[in-house]
Structure 1
Amino acid sequence: MAMFPMYVDLKGKRCLIVGGGAIAYRKAEILLRFEADIIIIAPEACSSLVELEKQDKLKIIRSTYTKNDINEVYLVVAATSSMETNEQVYEDAVNMNIPVNVVDDPEKCTFIFPSIVKRGSLAIGISTSGVYPALSKKIRKITEEIFPEDYSEIVEMLAGFRSRVRKSCLTQPEKEHELRNVLEEFYSKGEITPRALNGVLQRHEEKIRA
């Protein structure tokens, strides 16, 4: 069964990760890219998590998991080596209607981590709904080549142009026409770079001001 790819705002949201190993670190690293407020529950934490704690990027509570730990969290990830603990986290979360992901156990996930390509505000999620994660990772690598790092600057430039178009005196159909034309002209050039986009935007800025 395919899972619905719903995008949510995690900025400042309290996200709980139960477990302190390498897998917990990888999940924390993903959530931090979206500015989540992360709490780690684990008797011991790996050096990578400890380093993030030193940088004030997350909080580690060095103890075993209890049901009270799940109170007032936005979502929870179970990433321990104990099947019993993971099962308890899952049951507690489901009973409290909190989204939960049990690592490497698709049957006990009410949400999943897609393979992500993030370029500033552009976030592309790729998933096989847990049936073949390696395929998601392969497609992610291909997608990273299609959308290199400078796409974050491209998205930012387009966002600024859109804002100026919306504030212009153009009619609504004219605004929509300009926004479409910018993309069509940009992608028709064959050079998908911030420099090339800047040239396209300059020409269209003149139309806005006219």
Structure 2
Amino acid sequence: MLPLYVDISGKRIVVFGGGTIAERKLQQIFETNGGGGALNVEVYSLDFTPFIEEMNEKGEIRCFQCDLWDRNLGELIKGAFLVLVCTDDETLNGRILKETAKYDALVNYKHAGDVFMSSVVNKGGFLISVSTSGKGPAMARYMKTKILSLIGDKEEKMLLIQSNLRGYLKGKIKEEGRRREILNLVLEDPECWAALDEPVEVAEKLIFKIVSDKYA
């Protein structure tokens, strides 16, 4: 498996099913989209959870109430970038998978698809995916909780300062290798981490001074 982060802004996403599985996947899509562009999501099902109905009412997604057994699945799938198969009818899911294979679309469905949605940590500017490749979903959730506990106020501040420091160093040091080395030295410097006890604006000034005095 190759972990990738994909910009899905504007790309057509088709969801078959409107139950709790579809709801969970939609929540993850919208939570991880962050500051990305508008999403183009269509949901086809006989019924929808209240959460999905609310998203439809807000205009965040478009819901189409229908019996999928009576629809031309190819017409719904054609032009999709990603297809999420989330119905509770295994026979229907098999039919959707077979039809999706005829088109140039990624498909997510248990372990039969070619795209898997892992457990995701989205906190303080960090976006981290955790997967066990289906071996232990409970373990993936456990590790997500562990990783979340490692991201605190200081880590969030340091990420912001590192981003600004990169720009500062680009204007001061030509050699990329040396810039990378300094960024790593900052992360290993107890004095820099101690500065993060201050408000972020003050901490940034202190860390920039440390860098200027010791490394640059």
Shorter-chain TM-score tier: 0.7 to 0.9
Q: Give, in angstroms, the shift of residue 29 of structure 1.
A: 0.6
| Structure 1 gap ranges (5+) | none
Corresponding residue of 2:2: 4
Seen in structure 2, the aligned counterparts of structure 1 residues 156 and 12 have a Cα distance that, compared at 3 Å, is farther
Confirm or deny that 1:111 pairs with 2:115: yes
Q: Give, in angstroms, the shift of residue 48 of structure 1.
A: 0.6
Confirm or deny that 1:42 pairs with 2:18: no
Q: Give, in angstroms, the shift of residue 198 of structure 1.
A: 3.0
Q: Give, in angstroms, the shift of residue 94 of structure 1.
A: 2.4
Corresponding residue of 1:158: 162
Confirm or deny that 1:203 pairs with 2:209: yes
> Per-residue displacement from partner, 1:46-92 (whole Å, max 9, x unpaired)?
11101112222211122233221112111111000111221122122
Corresponding residue of 1:53: 56
Corresponding residue of 2:36: none
Seen in structure 2, the aligned counterparts of structure 1 residues 187 and 13 have a Cα distance that, compared at 3 Å, is farther
Give distance in 1, aligned partners of 2:2 and 2:159. 25
Amino acid at match of 1:118: N
Q: Give, in angstroms, the shift of residue 187 of structure 1.
A: 9.0
Do the aligned residues in 1 keep the contact of 2:154 with 2:196 (CA within 8 Å)? no
Give distance in 2, aligned partners of 1:193 and 1:93. 53
Q: Give, in angstroms, the shift of residue 24 of structure 1.
A: 0.6
Give distance in 1, aligned partners of 2:127 and 2:78. 29
Give distance in 2, aligned partners of 1:64 and 1:5. 35
In the TM superposition, what are the counterparts of 1:139-154 in structure 2 within 5 Å?
A: 139-148=143-152, 151-152=155-156, 154=158
| Structure 2 gap ranges (5+) | 34-38
| TM-score after normalising by structure 1 | 0.82
Do the aligned residues in 1 keep the contact of 2:192 with 2:210 (CA within 8 Å)? no
Q: Give, in angstroms, the shift of residue 204 of structure 1.
A: 4.8
Do the aligned residues in 1 keep the contact of 2:119 with 2:141 (CA within 8 Å)? yes
Amino acid at match of 2:59: D
Give the secondary-structure state (helix, strand or coil) at the position aligned to 1:96: coil
Give distance in 2, aligned partners of 1:13 and 1:50. 21
Seen in structure 2, the aligned counterparts of structure 1 residues 114 and 135 have a Cα distance that, compared at 3 Å, is same
Q: Which has the larger radius of gyration?
A: 2
